[in-house]
Every structure is written in C-alpha cells, then in structure tokens.
Structure 1
Amino acid sequence: MRKKRVLLLSEGFGSGHTQAAYALAAGLRQLSPDVQTRVLELGKFLNPVLGPLIMSAYRKTVGKQPKLVGMMYRTNYKRSFNRFAQLAIHRIFYTQTEQVIQQLRPEIIVCTHPGPNAAVARLKRLGLDVPLYTLITDYDAHGTWASPEVNHYLVSTPVVKRKLMDRGIPSGRIEVTGIPVHPQFWQSQDQADARSGLGLRSLPTVLVMGGGWGLMEEEDEFFTYMTRWREEVQLIFCTGTNEKSRESMLADERFNHPNIQVLGFTREISKLMDAADLLVTKPGGMTCTEGMSKGIPMLFYKPIPGQEEENLDYFIGSGFGEMLQSTATIDRWFRLIQEPYSSGKRRQRLQSKSSQQYDPQECPSAVLRLMQ
C-alpha cells in the first residue's frame, strides 16, 4: 500500500518557517510509519537564482533596517492577499507550483509561510483538489496567513485562534496545536549527562543563540559583557550560519577561554538546551518554542519589530523569560544560576508549566487525525 504523502511548503525568510516544516515532517514520521514527507522552500526551489538573492536582500534589510521591517509588518497587518496579489505572487515566484504538486501527488499540503500558502490557495480556487493546511509559525496571526481556500489552520495559542476568528474564519477550521518542534525536543536529558556527552564542564551554563541566521555583530555589547563572568559561568555562543560573526568572536581574546565555546551551525541544540541553565536568544517562534519544551528560562534581546515582538509578549506573559534590558539583567541572572537548588527548582517549575500549556506531539498528531 502506498504511503500517504505530505508536502510541506516553506520559505527561508528567517529560519523558523522551514524549521517548523522539518519538525512537523519528523514528528509525522515518528508517529506514523505510513507517512512520507517532502519539505520544499518553494520559491528557492522554483527560482534557484532569484530566490537566494531575495533571501539575501531580506536578511540585510532585517539586519540594517529592522524598523522598516516592523513598519511593513504593521502596515499590512490586517490585509490578506487579495486575488490580484495572489496572481502577482504566483506569476513572479510560483509559476510552476501546480506542476510540482502534480509530480509529487501529495494527499495533503501544509504551508508554513504565507507565500506558498497564497499560491496553493489560488490553485485550489482554480480547481486543485488537495487539502491545504496552514501552520502559523509565530504567536501572532498576520493577515497574509488568512485565505478562504485553507481547509484547516494549526496555530500556537488560543489568542492566535481568536485573531483568526476575528477575521471571519470559522472556529471549526482552527485548531490550537502549538508550534511543532523536532522529536529531539520531546524529552529532556539529565543535565549532567548532557554536559558530559557534549564535553562541557560541570559549571553553571548559559546558551546564547541568535536564531538560524546566528548572532549579529551589532549585538556584541551584551555578549562581550558576558565574558566578564567566564571564571564562574560556562558560555556557549551559537552563531548559526553567520560565519563572519563566529570568526570575529574567535579573533577576540575575550572569547578565548576554556569556559567559552563559540559554535557555528550545529544540530545539537536539544542537547545544548538540556545542558544549559539559561537561554539567551532573540524571540523567534521556533527557538522560543524549543526552549519552552525544555523548560529552560530565557532572556530575550533585540526583537525584530513585528512578529518577534508578539512572541516576546507571549513568552514573558506566560512566565518563561524576561527582556534583557541591561548589563544588570545579566548580572542578576548569572548570579541566580550559580545557586544549584534554586536553579533546579526554577527549571522544574518551568517544565511543569510547559507540560500544562504545550504538548510537543500535538501538532503532528492533529495532522494525522485530519488525514484520516
């Protein structure tokens, strides 16, 4: 019997959309051996020359002009893609989408970015007979996610569900599933074992991340200040794909210490979160959901205006972290994690809170139920 095929379509504007697609794909395969998945960054796949240029331009805009990104997000917040916009998006970026779908013959399509979502919605309006599920990968519901052709929405929280309902989407077409994380994050490892397995020292440990694009050089004020604690605290900086940032940090003598590691891209984030006592991160939807699944306290820095601000509000309001306001915030938390009993109790409380609010298996389970 042929396996059920799930096509997951994303885009690389930030890493969270595609990470969510891969996480859902892995979760589906973990829960059901009868499911076959395929993840595509559709615009990049269809436009191998133009796609990376657009992503590079977007990345530079986020880094250099974040206020412009926020203004664009807020200006179009309530607007969905109308038929003209869908046509333009299809003609410019997604002209061969229908051929891809016909070739792969999926039972369902899951979109984790508004662009492919709009393209598939247009094809459905023109006669495509494949269910379309939309997975919103932040703790907000921008208008561009909404489309009458979507069969079902998978969202992070009841607040996001309410925002979609306010846009006229029936409650029965929206399910609160949380954002999926990779099965690696479904369970936590003992902290001492995680440190031992990663070759880390038995010290209070801080994991510093900047999302899939890594740490940006503009944020080095806080990071260099953290190195003042390098005798008492173990610091792990993950620069992701930002090799320039990694090279810059490695060339700085302040980061050359036995208790400091500067990592590039790594697939060990789950283990690193198990080993750490504190996560310092930008409030991207995926990274914060991974941190929540592990019950690790978080400090958030410099959110990109728009969805990251909404993510920030959610996680601070839910008690999973706070804003990194100043070096005084660093000093206070770096002292707190040196108290083993208090630090352990704090982690237990957050893990209990997380299990009450979030089931990491719910999103793939919901998709499997919808496929039946």
Structure 2
Amino acid sequence: MNDDPNILILTAGYGDGHIQVANALRNEFHTQGVRSVHVLDLLDEAHPRLNSLIRYIYLKSGPSQRAGFDYYGWSYYSTRNLNYDKWLAKPLLALGRQKFKQVIRSLLPDAVISTFPYVPVSPLCRKSGIAIPTFTVLTDFALHNRWMISKSDRFYVATKDLKEAMIQRKIQPRQIMVSGIPIRESFYASVDTCKLYEQYGLDPGKPVVLVMAGAYGVLQNMKSILEHLTALDNVQFAVVCGKNGKLKEELQARFAHQPQVKLLGYVETIHELMRLASCIITKAGGITLSEAIKMNVPICIFKPFPGQEKENARYLNDRGAALVARSAEELQEQIRKLLSDPVAYRRVKSAISRINSQQQPNAARSIALDVLETVNRLGTHHRNHMPTHERIPVPMDRLSF
C-alpha cells in the first residue's frame, strides 16, 4: 500500500488543451489526497528555445494553411500510420529523452502520466532501472500512431471506437479504458442560470449561440461569421475572442452597436456560457469538444484545420453529434435550421448523449482512481532501485505542484 504516492504528469504548451487536461488531473489527485503531483512541460524544460519555435510554428499553422502552405496537415497525415519503432522515427523520439531520464531519477515518481505524445516513456523507465507504471491520456477523438509512442501500461480514450482502433493496432483491450477526456471540475458544478443571464447581459427569452474563437482567437473569418449570423432573427450571440485582443477590438468596431452581440475576451468561466448556450460554434480541439459533449450542447464546427481537428470534426459529424460548415453561408443555414427545427435539434443532442454515455461520469476522477489503484497494487518497491548517489538533481522551477 502506498499512502503517499508521487505522480508525474507530462504535458505540452501547444494551445491550452493539453495543459488543461494535466491541470484537471492534478486537481483531482489533490482531491483524492495526493500531495505530490508534478506537472512538467518536458520539451520546454529540455529545449526551451526549440520549444518556443515549435510553439510559434504551431500557432501560425492556421494562417499558413489559409495561405495554401499546409505544413501541419501534411506532417499529421504523413506520420499518422508511421511505425515509431523504425529508424525513420528515431529523431522524433530523441527530443526530451535525456531530460526525462534526469527527471525520473530525481523525482522517482510512482506513476508517469502523458497528456501529450512525447518520448517512449515506458521503455525509458525500464532502461533507467526503475519499475514505474505509465499511463497515456489521449486528447483527441481520432487515432494517430504518435499516441502509442509512450508504450504505456494503460491508455485512456474518449470513445469505444477509439478503443477499437487501438486494438486493431495491437494494443491489448485490458490496457484501454474508455474514460472520456478530462475536463475542469467546474463543468460538473450546478449553476443558477437566471443569475448568469443577468451577469452576461443576455436575454433569457432568446436562444444563445456561443461563438468560441479559441484560446488564441484563431477561429477563421470571425467578422464574416458574425455578419451572416446577425442576420438571423431573435438570436443572440456571446462571442469569446480568447487572448486575441486585436480580434476583439476589430469586432468591437464593427458590432458595438448591435445589442444581440456580446463580445468577451478570454473567459475562464466558459462553463457558465455553455450552460446558457443553445449551441456553440467552435474549433475542433478535443478538450472544447469534450466540454460541449459533457454539457450536451449541440456543436457547430467551422472550417476545421487539417490534422487532428479535421479528424475530430469528421468523427463527430459522422455520428450526428456535430455539424461542420465550410463557409459562413453554410454555417448561417445550419444554425437557422438547428434553432428552428426541434426534431433536428433533438437528433443532435441524442447523438451527443450516446457518446457521453460511453464515458465515465467524471473522466479525471476515473483516471486518477485507476492510476492510484495501480500504484497501490504495485507498491513502492521501485523507490529503492536507484541508489541515492546516482540521483540527478533537476531544476524544479518548471515543475508545477
């Protein structure tokens, strides 16, 4: 029995999604009484300058794609079925490897959880001479072979279909739990919607369309979207611009005099707006989609970027749980029909409910309890495998506790 487990969670700063998942897990471990939980952006710790460059390239992939240079989509699809055991993949697996070994030898964690497809975590732990159970949390609805890099003892996925796809790629069924993607605890809390309408200046007598530009305000063609949507009668719009202050200023100049449009910047309490929303317009990031699914809010996805966003959108669209629009005109028509046709509206919500029913009621809690059960079953024998004089100190300023 391990009464004081030590948990390491690996994440990455490409968008906010992976960090949100890591934080949701950390908070749940704290709720379960675990004091030592460390969240580490491994690539940022190992190669900060390279990480900054990769992050910049990632954030610029949207504008580049619109300009006809789709390097992100090309890299995603060209490596989707790549065998990472082959020599061709060796350079991709080298980044962060040495730093990971140092962290392992310094922290001696009882469990390592990956929320981003990094290094081959499980083999590296074994090569370090330390028996540590490893876990990977997939944050998408579609499978890419890079999620198997970790060779983890357990994988947590969003759907039964994703589990079946992993089984086809030789992962054992007992290694896979359909947990759902961890989201913030606030999405499970009850709220007083009457107060929320007043707080956000919204009319409780009209449907609310929540337009989410993403954390960095990268949803395409926001001005055109709103120009088309505001032509709809008896509908109001809560527009979240994220951290893109320039976008908010541009939209403010255009829509300031239209009372049905409420413009907001970065909103930490997005769960409150989802509670009020009749539907949302969003990018196809796995975490935002999971939040909407948990809230049972119909989803409209606008021009998903090639890569995991496009695959997430395709998966939900094929199952009737989301609508995908390729133009502002198509989006306008989808919203009009969705809000005016009760049968179509119920059909989408039913499809969302079917996906939700596959998942655990609280993904973060189910994952944390499963990890702790594994740690308790294995005990703490690995702590004594690494002599004290061999432990390598690691800078702790980048670790979040």
Please tell me the TM-score bracket, short chain as reference. Answer: 0.7 to 0.9
| SS of match in other structure, 2:6 | strand
1:6-85 equivalent positions in 2, closer than 5 A: 6-30=7-31, 32-34=32-34, 36-65=36-65, 67-82=70-85
2:224 & 2:367 partners in 1: Cα distance? 43
**RMSD (CA atoms):** 3.0
Residues 329/58 of structure 1: CA separation in 2 closer, same or farther (3 Å cut):
closer
Looking at structure 2, the residues matched to 130 and 85 of structure 1 have their Cα atoms a distance apart, in angstroms, of 28
Which whole-Å deviations, capped at 9, do the CAs of 1:241-280 have from their partners, x for residues lacking one? 2233223222x32354333222222211111100111100
Q: What's 1:225 paired with?
A: 228
Does structure 1 retain, via aligned residues, the 8 Å contact 2:155–2:175?
Answer: yes
Rg comparison, structure with higher value:
2
Shift in CA distance, 90/297, structure 1 to aligned 2, threshold 3 Å: closer
How far 1:88 sits from its partner (Å)? 3.5
Greater length-normalized contact order (CA 8 Å, ≥ 6 residues apart): 2
What is the Cα deviation at residue 331 of structure 1? 4.1
| Corresponding residue for residue 323 of structure 2 | 322
Q: Does 1:155 align with 2:157?
A: yes
What is the aligned partner in structure 2 of residue 312 from structure 1? 313
**Alignment match, 1:144:** 146
| TM-score for both structures, normalised by structure 1 | 0.86
Secondary structure, counterpart of 2:39 in structure 1: strand
CA change 1:102–1:210 in 2 (3 A) is: farther
Alignment of 1:61-140 (within 5 A): 61-65=61-65, 67-82=70-85, 88-89=91-92, 91-115=94-118, 117-118=119-120, 121-140=123-142
Q: 1:46 to 1:315 in 2, by over 3 A?
A: same
**Contact 2:178–2:360 (CA under 8 A) maintained in structure 1:** no
Could you tell me which of 160, 175, 178 is aligned with 1:176? Answer: 178
Paired-residue identity, %? 26
CA distance, structure 1, for counterparts of residue 189 and residue 347 of structure 2: 18
Unaligned runs of 5+ in 2: 374-401
Distance 1:226-1:88 versus aligned 2 partners, 3 A rule: same
Task: List gaps (5 residues or longer) in structure 1.
Answer: none
Per-residue CA deviation, residues 200-259 of structure 1 (Å, 9 max, x unaligned), is 332321111133332345453223322334x73221111222233223222x32354333
Letter of the structure 2 residue corresponding to residue 170 of structure 1: Q
Match of 1:286 in 2: 287
2:42–2:99: 8 Å Cα contact kept in structure 1? no
- Aligned-pair distance for 1:350? 6.5
Q: How many angstroms apart in 2 are the aligned matches of 1:121 and 1:239?
A: 42
Between the aligned partners of 2:347 and 2:149, the Cα distance in structure 1 is 42
Q: Please name the residue that 2:213 is paired with.
A: 210
- CA distance, structure 1, for counterparts of residue 348 and residue 275 of structure 2: 10
User: Could you tell me how far apart the structure 2 residues matched to 1:324 and 1:260 are?
Assistant: 21
